[in-house]
Amino acid sequence: MGCWTTSCDLGHLKAHSKVSVFFTMILIFTYLFYCLTGYCDSMPSPLYVHQSFRSKLLPKEGKKLAHWNGSIVRELPEQDATDVEDEKRQRGLGYETYNNLSVSNNFGTKEFPQAIIIGVKKGGTRALLEFLRVHPDVRAVGAEPHFFDRFYEKGLQWYRNLMPRTLDGQITMEKTPSYFITREAPSRVFSMSRSTKLIVVVRDPVTRAVSDYTQTLTKNPGLPSFQNLAFKNSTTGLIDTSWSAVRIGIYAKHLENWLRYFPLTQFLFVSGEKLVTDPAGEMGRVQDFLGLKRVVTNKHFYFNQTKGFPCLKKPEGSSRPRCLGKSKGRPHPHIPAEVLHRLRDFYRPFNMKFYQMTGQDFGWD
């Protein structure tokens, strides 16, 4: 059956139009698919401007970058990075958004940490890690992985995937203070790498216990008094070493467990007190221990009288200086002097042994 030339031409045009739209849609969906799977991240882009597809979807999870003396440094978090929410983000999203120098998912490689801050809780580990992250050759996980104490069954590959990418000359680090008191942790770290450098931030165990109690009290206002938890019998003054706030401070006992696997030369013991009074001095020791150039110096710090500890000075391009989150520097509740005196007597022999083991007198007695 014949057709008019004009009507036939219109039919052919409509058919071609449908085919063009169909192929265009295929190209669009193909492009979106590759972007979603990360292929787009491999395309060239300016080193410090590149932003991964994930960070575009999740801008709140990333941390702002600021220029400091020509280097890129990550600003300190406003909130305590060890909260439960960090662990949720860790297990659900990985750590690409926590990188302090992350420029692309395809720059560098993921390595097992060459150094780990293994303790102690409420000793100053968060401050130390954030001070270290100012250094351009340090790449560190933001939240606490808890691999060697809670998630070891997930395997080493899972652990390595949590690490930020590093370039040649950079070192990978993480911090989980509970490793120091975990019986299985030394053998597990040794199985990963017997050359791992171990950093322990220690603090007067009496002050540390009170700080530990204060943190718990803010989350659980109905908690019994400090003295009720610290003593098995308040009349006899028998200390309850089953209470974690007391047990953590018996440093010599925990160190003995670690020395079964690692020589003392692979440890650095950082004074939590000096990290407050002389942060640049302690950071010098840490950088030397890690084999790093002394980049983090006195010029990076100022003492915040309100919080009672040092903060990092304002990086170039930032509106104000940055301190650790609101959870740091809480005022401690009043503890009777007699309670503190008895607790100090309890810790004294353990402190003396710890001084002897480490070759350092921390001046707690």
- Which residues are tagged catalytic? 122
307 carries a ligand binding annotation: no
218 carries a ligand binding annotation: no
125 carries a ligand binding annotation: yes
122 carries a ligand binding annotation: yes
Query: Which amino acid is it at 23?
Result: F
Measured between alpha carbons, how far is 164 from 76 in angstroms, rounded to an integer? 17
By C-alpha distance, which of 329, 325, 326 is closest to 77? 325
182 carries a ligand binding annotation: no
What 91-96 contacts at long range (C-beta under 8 Å, 24+ apart), as own/partner pairs, is 93/54, 93/58, 93/61, 94/161, 94/162, 95/141, 95/142, 95/143, 95/162, 95/163, 95/164, 96/52, 96/54, 96/55, 96/164
Q: Are 214 and 245 in contact (CB under 8 A)?
A: no
Please state, in angstroms and as integers, the Cα–Cα distance from residue 55 to each residue in 138, 265, 280, following that order. 21, 40, 33
Measured between alpha carbons, how far is 150 from 323 in angstroms, rounded to an integer? 29
123 carries a ligand binding annotation: yes
Measured between alpha carbons, how far is 135 from 293 in angstroms, rounded to an integer? 9
Q: Residues annotated as binding site?
A: 122-126, 203, 211, 328-332
**Residues annotated in the binding site for 3'-phosphoadenylyl sulfate, as ranges?**
122-126, 203, 211, 328-332
